[in-house]
Amino acid sequence: MADHKAPTALSDDDLANVTGGKGQSDSGLPLSLGEGKSPEDMLKAIQQERLDTLEEWVKAQVGEVKAHQSTIGELNQGLSVLKTAEKALEAHGPDAQVSLKSLATDWGNRSVDELTKVLGLSANAVQDGALNKKELESAITGVQTKIDTVTSEAQMDMIKLQSLMDKQRQASDQMNDLLAKFKK
């Protein structure tokens, strides 16, 4: 078993000799921003860091919006396939069924397992390998609910994106104002 010593506080001399790591200046700013720079350079660096951070956030938010749009597109395609199958069932009578395999193929060549997961189908439907009218109606309702949910999430993400873009514009304006003041 290793010997564990009680931690001891470092003296000011020890701290002065520490190298490496991400140090902070007395002002709380990273040393790379504060050491040997004029106040103007420090402000420029801080503003640029803010702009870079906002740019990263905007890119991430755009990715979220695109992901939601892609999901909505896939779900709408699936809803169309399900509604087409529903019409076909109505034409064949009350006891007609539609095969999960044909639905999976029509819905972008998905696997039956993937289809059952997306639709949230019962174990009974999976065992039969087919959906009756009631199960199909339930699947349609489930997909419509998912579309509504993802659409709401996408709208919230669009609001967040707009807010981030406004902040980015404000930060850019502040940076331009700051540069204009330093040129005077």
In a domain, 38, yes or no: no
Phi, psi (rounded to 5 degrees) for 97: -135, 155
Copy the structure tokens of residue 7. Answer: 């931690």
Kindly list the averaged pLDDT for each block of 10 residues, start to end, along the chain of length 184.
57 60 49 66 85 91 94 92 89 85 84 81 73 88 95 95 92 85 77
Tell me how many domains the chain contains: 1
Give the sign of the dihedral formed by CA 145, CA 147, CA 152, CA 153. Answer: positive
Residue at 15: amino acid letter: L
The residue count of the chain comes to 184
Residue at 148: amino acid letter: D
In a domain, 21, yes or no: no
In a domain, 36, yes or no: no
pLDDT of 146: 95
- Structural domain including 114 reads 44-183
CATH at 128: 1.10.287
In a domain, 83, yes or no: yes
In a domain, 2, yes or no: no
